[in-house]
A and B are shown apart, each in its own frame.
Chain A
């Protein structure tokens, strides 16, 4: 081969590779209003950081659908056009921090929405706090997300409540006396929720009631060893909160290994990816934020109708409902503040009380957390089926 020709090849390959990296690296970037003050602009910019690729992709995409639906219904706030700037945090903590940094310093957004995944939310939180931009979380349920952060709020319940709900359900409805826990040690959500479940379950059933506690890492595919250990302890129920990807394989594997006891999880299980893996099985229960069977407010009905119209082929889900609520709460706060200034929006958000959302009445406490009703769903005949509703005490 001639030297020149070879060099051409090299240049070509290098260009293709660089372009592929650019195409990925720049996804979601918009033209900037550099130097323009966020509050005085004639558009209101809402930044969204959600996992649109990677292990949490489904959660981020469902949430984004809800946000986009709400934006379509209410495209203007205070007479100004709303612009949504979406940044994919790729299900990675570092990317989540970068995304928030970019939304604030480059895109100059007035407010941020996100992120699915407590670990991702916690990675972005401190930056928003430092820069003084308010963030509303849709579904991060770990208490640490809003703790010591005056700028982080959320429209969902938190894990101490969710863990207790599942523990009570296991004890009272399923009649369990012993439980095994399998957690993802890389996810704050999974570890946190497991601990709250453990605490509540031990409080009702004694310290010996948790017969096994096993770990895995995000991205693992093989759970046969952990499940074999659980099988040897023969618990009444298994609690395995975690990402829908890993848990789908984990739950299916448990059934293949002949473990037929009920398996319980948290709100992340409400994803098609999870259901696809476990369609053939039953006795699978999880808590979530919303159900189409029991619309709680008038806004729920509005949301359900709008969702069915915009996404006729999709199942309505809690994450879309929470995404919807985050947007309309943001709109409400900006209107109450009568300003797009981030500090003013923060103060209005902190004062949120009795706000009617699709997932229930939202009142934010001193930490910026909502106290809401939990819904328990189960897998039956290859579908998610509404099982029960648990009100906060």
Chain B
């Protein structure tokens, strides 16, 4: 493999890995607080992409306003979902909430198909954000730099919020024990609502970045990133925010490098992702950073 082809593969890995990481952070954050795998996370990503799409194309708003509206509306939707579909089940067995989450996911997908049509639409890439960069023989989109930067900023912001703010302290308390924290005057519903707000905003940003990288929106577009980023979150140790980031990058790098070094195995990429997951879980059952139970969000 020549050096420029190798560098090209490195650029490809960073692009894919940082996208996985960005979406995985949302999964892991919600899981960390209420121990719920929010299956609707990936569909919130789709909703955000559609809102941004309609904002730019139908209402011809500038991209930054469309994106802001998409993030705000998706956050509201996420909080509403928690209020309507998860909160009433708070004292129900955990499996009921999980089923409810799967139900919400199907509901969003099918509402999308009925209301927006099943045929995919091309997502417009704002010229201010997306352009092609050519370095010698290596070419990549500006997103290869933008997405990791956004991911790291969000990672720092979420970590700061969880570690330093009052709400973050309440979140960590709730993640240990609902009942005891409510005895300590923590408003559990408010804290969980805030968690979903942040998680949904992360999904929205992930959805927008995803649609710029792969410029196509359709009602089932959440399936693929949902599955991959969930794997990434588990790999890194679900519940751990830096873990989600590490898991995302490992998954992205492994997928690209598998094809780069063993092109004849390129059809087994997804299988390979699961093999890596199983290997990691065999040696570290809690995921890479998952052992750190006490420090969970």
Q: Which residues of A contact B (CB under 8 A)?
A: 1, 6, 9-10, 13, 16-17, 20-21, 23-24, 52-54, 57-58, 61, 185, 212-217, 219-222, 224-226, 228-229, 231-232, 245, 248-249, 252, 256-258, 272-273, 276-277
Q: Is the CB of A224 within 8 A of B16?
A: yes
Bound: A215/B259 CA distance, A: 9
Q: Give the contact-size bracket for chain B.
A: 35 or more
24 contacts between A and B (CB under 8 A): A10-B88, A13-B85, A13-B103, A57-B120, A58-B119, A58-B120, A61-B118, A212-B263, A216-B266, A216-B267, A221-B224, A224-B256, A225-B258, A226-B266, A228-B5, A228-B260, A229-B259, A231-B5, A232-B5, A256-B139, A256-B140, A256-B141, A257-B8, A258-B139
Encoded as 1 (CB less than 8 Å from any A CB) or 0, chain B from 47 to 85 comes to 000000000000000000000000000000000000011
Taking the nearest CB of chain B, how far is it from the CB of A34, in angstroms?
28
Taking the nearest CB of chain A, how far is it from the CB of B107, in angstroms?
5
| B1 at interface, CB cutoff 8 A | yes
Q: Is the CB of B103 within 8 A of A17?
A: yes
Q: Is the CB of B220 within 8 A of A54?
A: yes
- List residues 184-240 of chain B with CB under 8 A from any CB of chain A: 213-216, 218, 220, 223-224
Could you say which residues of chain B place their CB within 8 Å of the CB of A252?
A: 215
Output the residue of B9, B113, B137, B257 with the most chain A CB within 10 A: B113
From B15, B110, B220, B258, A24 is in contact (CB under 8 Å) with B110
| B89 at interface, CB cutoff 8 A | yes
Q: Is the CB of A20 within 8 A of B2?
A: no
Taking the nearest CB of chain B, how far is it from the CB of A340, in angstroms?
32
Bound: A388/B210 CA distance, A: 38
Could you say which residues of chain A place their CB within 8 Å of the CB of B266?
A: 214-216, 225-226, 229
Instruction: List the A residue with the shortest CB-CB distance to B2.
Output: A232
Taking the nearest CB of chain A, how far is it from the CB of B156, in angstroms?
26
Bound: A350/B264 CA distance, A: 42
Could you say which residues of chain A place their CB within 8 Å of the CB of B8?
A: 228, 231, 257
| B178 at interface, CB cutoff 8 A | no
Bound: A232/B12 CA distance, A: 14
Bound: A322/B160 CA distance, A: 60
Q: Is the CB of B270 within 8 A of A217?
A: yes
Bound: A6/B89 CA distance, A: 8
Taking the nearest CB of chain B, how far is it from the CB of A9, in angstroms?
4
Q: Is the CB of A57 within 8 A of B119?
A: yes
Taking the nearest CB of chain B, how far is it from the CB of A118, in angstroms?
18
Q: Is the CB of A258 within 8 A of B134?
A: yes
Taking the nearest CB of chain A, how far is it from the CB of B137, in angstroms?
8
From B15, B107, B118, B259, A54 is in contact (CB under 8 Å) with B118
Encoded as 1 (CB less than 8 Å from any A CB) or 0, chain B from 108 to 135 comes to 0011011000111110000000001010
Bound: A277/B132 CA distance, A: 16
Instruction: List the A residue with the shortest CB-CB distance to B19.
Output: A222
Q: Is the CB of B256 within 8 A of A225?
A: yes
Could you say which residues of chain A place their CB within 8 Å of the CB of B259?
A: 214, 225-226, 228-229
